[in-house]
Structure 1
């Protein structure tokens, strides 16, 4: 299902994606990128970044904590001046979105 993620990222958007690999889901101990929670990154000419993402569940109790960590990581990238998070529920997150690394780290085989 990873094909739904934006694949044509600019160099700046790739830097944002790299920065998001440092944001760890505290419940699972895996970063948001490898969990497949990041659906898209867009940075406009003014440096405003929109991160389109989801959470593993709608009632995720750590959403606000993650939002602060995401904003800090994104704004740490040179050239990014602001960050908005576009939280979506479609397409729904499934374990199929996780990278092989995340599956191995969590002991999921298949």
Structure 2
């Protein structure tokens, strides 16, 4: 096994976020205003937001997933999320991309979401 292969195999499945960025908390708050229409919990607490990466020039890149690839709002939810984040003061641009790797699982939900849905 080569060193390059070892690096790829050891890479995290979910890209890191930038929680130290001054806009991070506002972006998270905006994410919490978007709901999956089939589940009464916001997409952030559901664990559908994998990465919030904010560049030095305030470009927000979000990597998200859905509870299932066949979700009826799969085509719409990234736009809903971008619409929630773009109006924030200081945000220059928003790019939302979708991934299903790793697949979403109930263990990705926050404790608040589990409580709301009766799993705790």
TM-score of the two chains, using structure 2 as the length reference = 0.79
Deviations 1:9-34 (A, max 9, x none): 11212211111111111110110110
Structure 1, unmatched stretches of 5+, are: none
- How many residue pairs align between the two structures? 106
Q: Counterpart of 2:108?
A: 97
RMSD: 1.7
Deviations 1:19-77 (A, max 9, x none): 11111111101101100011111122333211011110011111233122101111021
Quick one: higher RCO (CA 8 Å, sep 6+), 1 or 2?
1
Distance 1:61 1:8 in 2: 30
Write the mapping of 1:27-46 to structure 2, written as runs, cut at 5 A.
27-46=38-57
CA contact (8 A) 1:37 1:54 kept: yes
Q: Counterpart of 2:27?
A: 16
Query: The residue matched to 1:40 in structure 2 has which SS?
Result: strand
Query: The residue matched to 1:85 in structure 2 has which SS?
Result: strand
Structure 2, unmatched stretches of 5+, are: 1-13
Distance 2:66 2:56 in 1: 28
Distance 2:95 2:106 in 1: 25
Larger radius of gyration: 2
The structure with the largest helix share of the pair is 1
